[in-house]
C-alpha cells in the first residue's frame, strides 16, 4: 500500500488543484454555464487525447526502447561470436564434408547488399551438411565447450536475450550439445547410436549458428564498419582468411 501512496496523493493533489481553479473562476465571474460548457468540451476531447498518447507517443517511446534493447542484444551476440561462435563455425566446418560447397556462397564481400545476405541465409537454411565425426576432433570440441561453460551460463542470465528468440534457440542448442559431450567420458569411442545422436545435435547448432552469424555480419556492416572489416578478414569459410589487412 505504501508504494502506491504517492500515486494516490498525486491524484488527489491534481484533482484538488483543478477544483480550486474552477472555484476561483466562479468566484470572479459568477458564470457556472461557462465553466460547464468548457468542462464538457474538455471531457469530449479526452478520448482523442488518450488516442494520441497511446497510439502515437507511446508507440514512439516503445520503438526507441526497442532500438536501445536491440543494440544491447547485438553487443551480447558480438561477444558470443568473439568468444565461441567463430571457433564453433571453424570446428563444425571441419566435421562437414560439404563445407567446401557451402563456403563458396559465404565468401562475403564488403559490398554485399541486404538481398545478398538474404540469399546467403536461404542457402544456409537449405544446406544439408555431411557431418562426419571421424573427420574432426570431437575430444577437442568437448574440451573447448567445457572451458566456455561459465561464459554460456552468463549469457543465458542476460535478460535482454529473452527478446531475441532465434539467438535464444541457438544458445539452448549449444547448451544441449555441451551437456551431451560433457556426460560422456570418452567421446573418441562412442557407440553407433550415440554418434548418430551427436551428429543430429551438431547439425542443429550448425544450422542455427550459420543463420545468426550472417545476421550478425549484416548488423556490423550497417552499424559498426570497423568491426565488420575484422569479421570479414576472419571469415571461417574463407580459405585465405588472415587478420592482417591486405
Output DSSP code: residue 130: -
Altogether, the residues listed in the chain come to a count of 246
Residue 113 is predicted with a pLDDT of 92
Distance CA 218, CA 167 (A): 15
Using one digit for the tens of pLDDT, what is the confidence trace for 40-87?
777 777 777 777 767 776 677 677 767 666 777 888 888 899 999 999
Residue 36 host element (H or E): helix 32-52
User: Does 17 have pLDDT greater than 80?
Assistant: yes
Q: Do 86 and 234 meet the contact criterion of CB atoms below 8 Å apart?
A: yes
Distance CA 88, CA 208 (A): 12
Half-sphere exposure of 78 (CA within 13 A, CB side): 17
Confidence of residue 207 (pLDDT cuts 50, 70, 90): very high
Q: Do 204 and 138 meet the contact criterion of CB atoms below 8 Å apart?
A: no
SS3 131: strand
Residue 61 is predicted with a pLDDT of 66
DSSP annotation string for 13-33: HHHHHHHHHHHHHHHHH--HH
Using one digit for the tens of pLDDT, what is the confidence trace for 137-146?
888 899 988 8
CB atoms within 10 A of CB 181: 20
Q: Do 163 and 122 meet the contact criterion of CB atoms below 8 Å apart?
A: no
Using one digit for the tens of pLDDT, what is the confidence trace for 209-243?
999 999 999 999 988 898 999 999 999 998 887 77
Query: In the block, which residue shows the cell 494516490?
Result: 8
Q: What are phi and psi of 240, to 5 degrees?
A: -105, 20
Amino acid at each position: 500500500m505504501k508504494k502506491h501512496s504517492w500515486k494516490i496523493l498525486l491524484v488527489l493533489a491534481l484533482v484538488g488543484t483543478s477544483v480550486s481553479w474552477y472555484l476561483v473562476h466562479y468566484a470572479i465571474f459568477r458564470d457556472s454555464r461557462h465553466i460547464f460548457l468548457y468542462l464538457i468540451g474538455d471531457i469530449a476531447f479526452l478520448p482523442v487525447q488518450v488516442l494520441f498518447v497511446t497510439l502515437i507517443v507511446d508507440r514512439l517511446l516503445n520503438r526507441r526502447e526497442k532500438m536501445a534493447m536491440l543494440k544491447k542484444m547485438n553487443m551480447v551476440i558480438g561477444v558470443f561470436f568473439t568468444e565461441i561462435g567463430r571457433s564453433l563455425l571453424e570446428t563444425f566446418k571441419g566435421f562437414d564434408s560439404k563445407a567446401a560447397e557451402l563456403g563458396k556462397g559465404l565468401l562475403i564481400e564488403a559490398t554485399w547488399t541486404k538481398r545478398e545476405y538474404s540469399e546467403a541465409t536461404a542457402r544456409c537454411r537449405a544446406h544439408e551438411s555431411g557431418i562426419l565425426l571421424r573427420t574432426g576432433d570431437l575430444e577437442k570440441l568437448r574440451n573447448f565447450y567445457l572451458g566456455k561453460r561459465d561464459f554460456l551460463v552468463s549469457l543465458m542470465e542476460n535478460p535482454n536475450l529473452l527478446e531475441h528468440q532465434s539467438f535464444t534457440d541457438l544458445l539452448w542448442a549449444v547448451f544441449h550439445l555441451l551437456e551431451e559431450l560433457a556426460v560422456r567420458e570418452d567421446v573418441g569411442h562412442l557407440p553407433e547410436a550415440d554418434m548418430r545422436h551427436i551428429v543430429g545435435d551438431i547439425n542443429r547448432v550448425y544450422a542455427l549458428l550459420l543463420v545468426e552469424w550472417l545476421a550478425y555480419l549484416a548488423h556490423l556492416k550497417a552499424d559498426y564498419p570497423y568491426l565488420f572489416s575484422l569479421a570479414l578478414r576472419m571469415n571461417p569459410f574463407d580459405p585465405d582468411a588472415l587478420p592482417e589487412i591486405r
